[in-house]
Each structure stands twice: as structure tokens, then as C-alpha cells.
Amino acid sequence: MIYFSKIGEGMRIKRIILLYFFVFIVVTVINPTVSSTYSQSQEEITQYIIDVSKDIYRSIPKPDPSILYSSKGEVRLKLFLSPWGELKDVYISESSDNRELDNLCLNTVWMYKRYQPFPEALGSEDLWIDVPIIFDIDSSRIHSNNMSRAKSRDILRASPSTSLGINSASREVTNLGINDAVDIALENHMAAKIAQEEIELAKLKIREARRGLYPAATLNYLETTGKTAGTTQDFTDKEYKLKFEYPLYYGWRLKYAVEQAMSNLKASTSNYDKTLQDLRAEVESAFYAYMASKMDVKLHKALLEETSNVFTGAKKRLELGLITRAEFLQLESQMQQINYQVISSENTLAMAKLTLAQAVNAKGGEKAIEIIDKEPGKDLEPIVVNVTLEECTDLAFRSRPDLKAKGYMLEFNDYERKITESKNQLRVDLTGTYGKSGGAYQTEHLDMGNDWYLGLKVTKPLGGNTLSTTFTKDKTSQKHGQTTRTESVSKSIEYGLLDGLQHFSEEKSAEIGYKKAKDELEQAKDSIVREVKESYLNYKKGLIQIMTNLNKIKYREEEFKIIKARAELNDVSLSELIQAYMSLTDEKAYYVEALGSLYQSLAKLNKATGYALFLDDESFKLANTK
């Protein structure tokens, strides 16, 4: 049975916020830029810590209740993270007083593949982040002992025993197998694997961009042997040196390149999340269609079983001459119609099963369905979500990964504009070498002396031309045929004619890319508004349809009771009794169809909000929207 609650998760999040409020002070000390925008960064840092805590919490295998009860239900971890979410170290800063629970959390942190990149408020340096993992022990006890009391507030229940013929006493709270189906789908989902590879590629791009901030160095060794042109005499020259190149000033271009690479990583991460959510939405839609088809088959088989008994009795009555031949033929026609409905519902179930298997993937589809079918009594029930359209839209704008990806790509293109503009600024390069060299004839002793070279180059684009000036100074040791060291100073000026025309096209291209990214972001916002509104209205429409179906079922049930009582008194014909059975089953089938559509629209609404509306933990739960 579906359990629908927001208490446990909401309390856990509130406790995290209250317990770790001091993190803002620590981060402010580490990163002074946070203090200047404290009111804005406070919310970003809080949300980041909550998101990381939730990611870890959801990945932790469910501990045995005895482990939770023997602990204080809280573990505090110190995570050493890079700005792009790479875990470098972790330790337990405060134990839960249960070693098994501590190790479970610690192992989960190390096994977790991808942490979220830092928000801007945390800066671009590696940081120790204090992350709490809080287990709600009290809610776990209440959940196991008082399930029916918790669920009664948020579930609009149909009467299972009278409406759908299902024994409600045998039901248990279950995730309906949806999480298993999604997990299996992810195992071989190529788009998700490609998106993961794009994240790894983005991390490499960050490393490359950071490398550009530091000097480039090379080691060089050269040995030359030969003969002089005059008197034939062998000689040998040797040198080894360290060469370095350092960009002293590039007009913030290198810094912008790092920031651009960070934006690219964030966009890749959001695209990965979008891929997962698209896959989950596809699996959910197929899953709920399959569940509704199973319920429909169960209804029609129950109808066939009930009416078969009536038809068997009709045969005996026909033999005894208690009913007419025409009445029996009417009953026979009705039974054929019922058989057709059973076959039709089974065919629909087979197609729904195939669709679900394909949505999961070709290799694991059958395995997923076996898991889903493993436990009986997992029928759907209507759910009422007390959330407004405005709240859903707000959640979508804050949580949709595709919208975040578009925002990060706008940042990416903005940095591209800045990089292009900075190419028109002054550029200063420092180069140099240091090492030893020497040369001597074969009859002489080879002595190695110190060599060094230092050069400074200043370049400034002027329109489509380039002006550059160079100053170099070097000192080398004596070579063969020389008696002293050599030292020189060089100065040069160079003016390149029309060698920088590509700058204009690069600048125009960057501006077009920024405008396109901005337009795509606005289009994404408009699309999200339409998607949220459409799915929300479809959900509300589904609720109204469900209520209508339930009222019709109640009417048909009362009608059936009256006809059945009259049939026992031989006041109505058996064909009228079977017709009442069929009418009641038809209404239940309409209800099941509406229920499947309701869940599909609910899944679409959940996806439209960026999976922020619900927290899927063994059941649907309403998230804290405040």
C-alpha cells in the first residue's frame, strides 16, 4: 500500500540546517569572498550541504533497525572535496556510537562516484566540508508500529474490499519495485554512461585549464661531436638545461578559462542528472501502465470466475426447464463477451510488460519484471498531493537539471566572450633557461660552465595588427675554440601587418554563442512552465476522474446488491444478474484505467519539478517545499 508522508525527511533536513549553521562561519573564514555576499551565499551553502547529505543518505544501504536503535542516529563526516566534486579524503568527526553504522556511512561515502560541484559561494579551492548524516530513529519506530495512522492523513483510499476485491489485510508498504526497475535500467543505459564520461572529460578540461596558470618547464640535453673545417681535429660540445615559460599577464584570460571549465563541468553534471531523470520518467510511465494492466486482468478474471458459477447454474436450470432457451443464449453471449474482455486485458498486459521491459533495457527487462511480480498485493491507490501550481513551478525553476545545464552553458559562453575580449589586451610572457654547457677539442679537457637565458616579451593587438617587443639577456660558457664566456643583450620590436584579423570573427562568434545560450535558457524556462502546468492540470483532472469513478462504483455496487437479492428470489433473470456483474466490473476497469493515468500524470509532474516534489524512499513522499 502506498505510504505518503513528508514528516521524516522534513525533520531530517531541519535538523541538518540547525545543527550545521556554524558551517557558514567556518566557510567565511576560509573564503573571505563569502562574507561580502553573506545573505545570498548562506542559502547556497546550506542547500549544498543538505544536498550532499541527502545524496549520501539515499545511497546508504538500509541498516538493520537494531543498529539504529543502538546508536544515537547521527554521524558527522568531514569530506575533503575539490570544487568539481572529487572526493580526496574523508573521516568521521563525530561517531554515532555504533561502529557498524559508522563504517556503513564511511564505506558509502567512498563508494559514491559523483559529488556535486561547489556553488560559487564556496570558492574554487579544495575544502573540508562538514556533512551530517541523520537517521530518524523515532520515525522508524512509528513507521513500523503505527503505519495506518500515518497514512490516513494523505491517502484518498478507495474501499479495497468492496471496490476492487483485494484483501487489504495482506498489504504492506512497498516501493512497488519501481526503484529496482530504475536501478536495473541504469546498469546498461548507454546515454547515462556517455553522460558520465562527459563528466570525466570536463574534469580533465579543468585540469588542463589550471595547468595553464603555472609555468611550463622542459628538460633538455644536447651533445654534439664533429671535426673542424681547417686543421682536422675532433671536438665535443655538451649542454643540459632547464627551460621554462611563464605567462605573466594574459588579461585574466587564463583565470576565465578555469572558470569556463568549471561551468562546463557543472553543465555536464546537470546533463547527467537530466539523463537519469529522463530514464526514470520513461520507466515510471511504463511501470504504472503495467501495474494498471495487472489490476485490470485481475478484475476481469474475477468477473469470469463469478459469472462462470452463474452460467453453470443456468445450464442446470435449462435442463430442468426453469429458464427459456432465449435466456440461455443471452447468457452464453454474455460469457463470450466476458471471455473476450479477459483475453483483451491479457493482451494489453503483455504489451505493457513488453514496453516496461524495453524501457528498463533489453538485458535486464525480464529480471526487473520478475522483481516487480515477486510480491503480491501491490495495487495502486489514489494519492492527493496538497501542492499548488505556483509551488510546483518554483520547485521546477530551482531543481530542473536541464534548466541548470542551460544556465551553466550561459556562464560558459559568457566566459568565452570574456576570454575573446581579453585576447585584445596586453600579453606578457617570461621565458628563460638555466643549465650547464661546454665544448673542447679531443686533446683538451672539457669543463662545463653555467649558462642562463632570460627573455621578456610584450604583445599588444592593435586592430587587426600585432605589436610586440622583446628583451633578452643571456650568458653562455666557452665552447671549443673560445677562451672566454659570451654574454649578450638583445632588444627587438616587431609589427605584424593584418596578422590578427581572426580576432574579429572570434569576437563575433563568442557574442553569437552567448546570445544563443541566453535564448535557449529562456526557451527552456517557457517549456518548463508549460510542462509543469500541463502535468499539474492533468493530475488534477485525474483526481476528479477518480472521484467520479468511485461514485459510479458505489452506485453500481448498490445496484448489484439489489439485483443479486432479487435474483435469489427469482425476481430478475440471470442475464440481468450477469449484466450487473459486467456493469460493476466495467466501472472498476474505468477506475483502474483512470488510476493508471493518475499515476502517470503524477510521475510526469514529479519529473517536471525536477524530482523535487517527491522523495522516493520505499513509497511516494511529499518533499518539503518551503
Query: pLDDT tens across 353-384, in order?
Result: 888 888 877 555 566 666 666 655 556 778 88
- Specify the fold of 7-155: 3.30.1150
Contact 188, 279 (CB under 8 A): no
What are the sequence ranges of the domains in the chain?
A: 7-155, 211-251+421-508
Residue 133 · residue 77 · CB < 8 Å: yes
> From start to end of 336-464, where are the E strands?
427-441, 449-462
Mean pLDDT of 259-278: 90
Collect all residues with Cβ–Cβ distance below 8 Å to 197 and sequence separation of at least 6: none
Q: Name the maximum alpha-carbon separation found in the chain.
A: 140
Q: How confident is the model at residue 155 (pLDDT cuts 50, 70, 90)?
A: very low
C-alpha 586/C-alpha 511 separation (Å) is: 61
549 pLDDT higher than 60: yes
Give, in order, the Cα–Cα distances in Å from 39 to each of 34, 36, 42, 418: 9, 9, 5, 28
Residue 127: what are its φ and ψ, rounded to 5°?
-140, 150
What single-letter amino acid sits at 491? Answer: K
- What's the pLDDT score for residue 212? 86
Provide the CA 162 distance to its chain's centre, in angstroms: 42
Mean pLDDT (the chain, rounded) = 79
Above pLDDT 90, what percent of the chain? 27
Question: For residue 112, which of 58, 148, 65, 188 has the smallest C-alpha distance?
Answer: 58
* Per-residue burial over 598-608, b = 16 or more CB atoms within 10 Å of its CB, e = otherwise: bbbbbbbbbbb
Cβ atoms of 508 and 417 within 8 Å: the answer is no
Q: pLDDT digit string (tens) for 239-254? A: 889 998 988 888 888 8
Q: Is the dihedral of CA 272, 405, 60, 609 positive or negative?
A: negative
What pLDDT does residue 72 have? 83
Cross-sheet strand order for the sheet of 74-81: 87-94, 74-81, 127-134
Taking only the tens place, the pLDDT of each residue in 63-84 is 887 888 888 888 889 888 888 7
- The C-alpha atoms of residue 449 and residue 478 are separated, in whole angstroms, by 8
Q: 488-544 pLDDT, tens per residue?
A: 899 999 999 988 888 889 899 999 999 999 999 999 999 999 999 999 999 999 999
Could you say which DSSP state residue 519 is in? H
CB 129 within 8 Å of CB 119: no
Q: Name the band, by pLDDT with cuts 50, 70 and 90, for residue 154.
A: very low
- The total number of residues written for the chain in this structure: 626
The Cα 466–Cα 497 span in angstroms is 7
Q: What is the average pLDDT across 463-477? A: 89
Q: Which whole number is the average pLDDT over 164-172? A: 33
For residue 163, what pLDDT is reported?
35
User: Cell numbers at residue 418, please?
Assistant: 570574456
- Which residues neighbour 18 within 8 Å (Cβ) at sequence distance 6 or greater? none
Cα–Cα distance, 418 to 415 (Å, whole number): 5
